[in-house]
Amino acid sequence: MLRASLLRASIAPFLISSVSAMALAAQPSEEPTMSNHSVISTDKAPQAIGTYSQAIKAGATVYLSGQIPLVPDTMELVNGDMEAQIEQVFSNLTAVCEAAGGSLQDIVKLNIFLTDLSHFALVNEVMARHFKQPYPARAAIGVAALPKGAGVEMDGIMDIA
């Protein structure tokens, strides 16, 4: 009996600290803060039309939000054909890249969303006017619709190290 009491007394602190640690680990963790991130914003690109920033810089990486072919001054779709829309998107991306301290050439990953994949060759043609080799990694994705009736949207990731 004495032996069992001594055993319980010797492991009690261990059990209490283990239970406390497990209870702490089970609690939800705090949401990460934006303290080590910078918001990138410029009037030379369309303002956000939703709950997002134009870009976020985290270290040497800049995450560019999707740009549709809105004219920054009017916040309306650019007038013209699909080529004009693609050019406007590259203009908007350029403005955000420059606000972040970089350029289109610093984009390492580009995502392109098209409501009509028959414009894929046109995207390649316009993109070749804005990028030099080596080109960024890229995806072109067909989608049913885009905000404000746009035919194209692009987002990307920059490395400005």
pLDDT at 115 over 90: yes
pLDDT at 26 over 50: no
Is residue 70 a contact partner of residue 76, using CB atoms and an 8 Å limit?
yes
Instruction: Report the candidate in 110, 118, 117 with the shortest Cα–Cα distance to residue 63.
Output: 110
d(CA 18, CA 62): 41
**pLDDT tens for each residue of 45-99:** 999 999 999 999 999 999 999 999 999 999 999 999 999 999 999 999 999 999 9
Decide which of 3.30.1330.40, 3.40.50.720, 3.40.228.10, 3.40.190.290 is the CATH code for 37-159: 3.30.1330.40
Is residue 57 a contact partner of residue 37, using CB atoms and an 8 Å limit?
yes
Instruction: Report the candidate in 26, 115, 28, 103 with the shortest Cα–Cα distance to residue 69.
Output: 115
- The encoded tokens of residue 110 equal 């580009």
Is residue 148 a contact partner of residue 103, using CB atoms and an 8 Å limit?
no
d(CA 140, CA 147): 17
Long-range contacts of 141-146 (CB under 8 A, 24+ apart): 141/111, 141/112, 141/113, 141/114, 142/113, 142/114, 142/115, 142/116, 142/117, 143/113, 143/114, 143/115, 144/115, 145/115, 146/68, 146/113, 146/115
pLDDT of residue 77: 98
Name the least confident of 21-25, 67-71, 108-112.
Answer: 21-25
